[in-house]
Amino acid sequence: MFKKTCKKFLSILLCVAVLATCTVLQALAFSPTYDPSADTNPPTFALSKAQGAPGDTVKLELSLLNNPGIGGWKVKLNYDESALELINIDANGAFSGAFPNVEKAVVGWPSAVNDNTNGTMAIFEFKIKDSAKGDYNIEVVYDSKDVYSYSPVDIDGTREVYFETVNGTITVIEKHTHSLKLVEEKAPDCVSDGNKAYYVCEICGKWFEDENAETEISDQSSVVVPAKGHSYVWKYDEKVHWQECEVCGDKTKTEDHVKSETIVDTTPTADKEGKGHIDCTVCGAHLSDVVIPKTEEPSGEPTTKPEPETNPSSSSSSTPGGNSSSLVTNNPDGKGVVETGASEAVFIIFAVVVLAAAGVITAVTVKKKRANR
């Protein structure tokens, strides 16, 4: 009796142990499998850096990098409200339909399908308060359920997607009178960009259009004057042609001339030779003059000249056919052979008819002779 109870107890214990192991394994299987440190290009929300003096406004750009395909995002910035005031969010970046909320320092974007877009999510504009001093960290945060993928999905129809975050910084420098240095205008050439004249503050590094630091240049690419590119024209000598830039003399595409067919300038007649010339079909260079021989007959003769040239080729093509070359001088090969075959058949039929007739005649003659006997 005791043995039986003991056995029962042991088997129950075993069952419990097996169930417990299964549960633990299951829990392990559902733990997050994404390891950010193993990913060299992780999906990232990144905020830029800026600097300014108290009273200035500065802009920070929030960007999305290495998008694996998501159905939406919502990102919030945390910052020191005693030193900084968020005055605007421009959400007209790479994500159309993104909506900003300045009061909450939030910008969000929903999509109906998984989307791989990368780029600017929003530009945040901060005013630096008078009390501000030193560096300010601008923290990028998001709620895991606000960044999701439609595929593959969890039970609720979406799947959370892990993103790294890169915080921004606003460095507050002392109020100063800008100390401007002129960057002189530079004309662009064929291959290098030039620039308009502008001024740079040696203290804060800001760029200005004017020497009084009244108009700041926020987009530094706006001073660039693009390279003009080469202005190539064809040049040539007797053997080759090439392209040469009229501005800087750069040479490229040096190649042999390509001869044209004879271009007829004066048509030949029976009495008089014609004139023509040969050009390069690529650069147009005049390569040589050509004298076109007189025509042998007033008209039609020019077309007879090509014929002797084409005949050798047709006779050479008839050579493989072979058997009856003399019969097929002016005819295509196949036709001649077919005709020969037909005449042979006619001959055989004729021969059969003749033989048959001879047989009939012989038979009739023999019968008559027998009847005569």
Q: Which residues bind Zn ion (CB under 5 A)?
A: 178, 190, 201, 203-204, 230, 241, 245, 247-248, 250, 257, 280, 282-283, 285
Cα 371 to Cα 349, 359, 361: the distances in Å are 33, 18, 15
Letter string b/e over residues 55-85, b meaning 16 or more CB atoms within 10 A of that residue's CB? ebebebbbbbeebeebbbbbbbbebeeebbe
Residue closer to Zn ion (CB basis): 46 or 201: 201
What does the block give as tokens for 263?
A: 């271009």
Q: Of the two residues 250 and 339, which places its CB atom closer to Zn ion in the complex?
A: 250
Sheet containing 232-236: give its strands across: 232-236, 240-245, 251-256
**Residue 105 · residue 79 · CB < 8 Å:** yes
> How far is the C-alpha of 196 from the C-alpha of 211, rounded, in Å?
14
In whole angstroms, the minimum distance from the beta carbon of 323 to Zn ion comes to 51
Please identify, using beta-carbon distances, which residue of 47 and 280 lies nearer to Zn ion. Answer: 280
Instruction: Give the shortest CB-208-to-Zn ion separation in angstroms.
Output: 9
Q: How far is the CB of 274 from Zn ion (least distance, A)?
A: 24
**By C-beta, is 91 or 283 nearer to Zn ion?**
283
Give min distance, CB of 287 to Zn ion, in A.
8
Q: Which is nearer to Zn ion, 50 or 161 (CB)?
A: 50
What distance lies between CA 43 and its chain's CA centroid? 25
Cβ closest to Zn ion, residue 51 vs residue 340: 51
C-beta closer to Zn ion: residue 183 or 201: 201
Coil, strand or helix at 338: helix
Nearer to Zn ion, 74 or 257 (CB): 257
Residue with tokens 């919502």: 74
Q: Which residues, at least 6 apart from 340, have a Cβ–Cβ distance to it below 8 Å? A: 323, 324, 327
* Residue 176 CB, nearest approach to Zn ion (Å): 6
Specify whether the CB–CB gap between 115 and 64 falls below 8 A.
no
CB of 91 to Zn ion, least distance (A): 30
CB 289 to Zn ion: min, Å: 17
Task: Tell me how far, at minimum, the Cβ of 227 lies from Zn ion, in Å.
Answer: 9
Angle among Cα 246, 250, 251 to the nearest 5 degrees reads 105
Q: How many CA within 13 A on the CB side of residue 336?
A: 15
* Distinct helix (H) and strand (E) counts, the chain: 4, 24
Residue count of the chain, please give it.
373
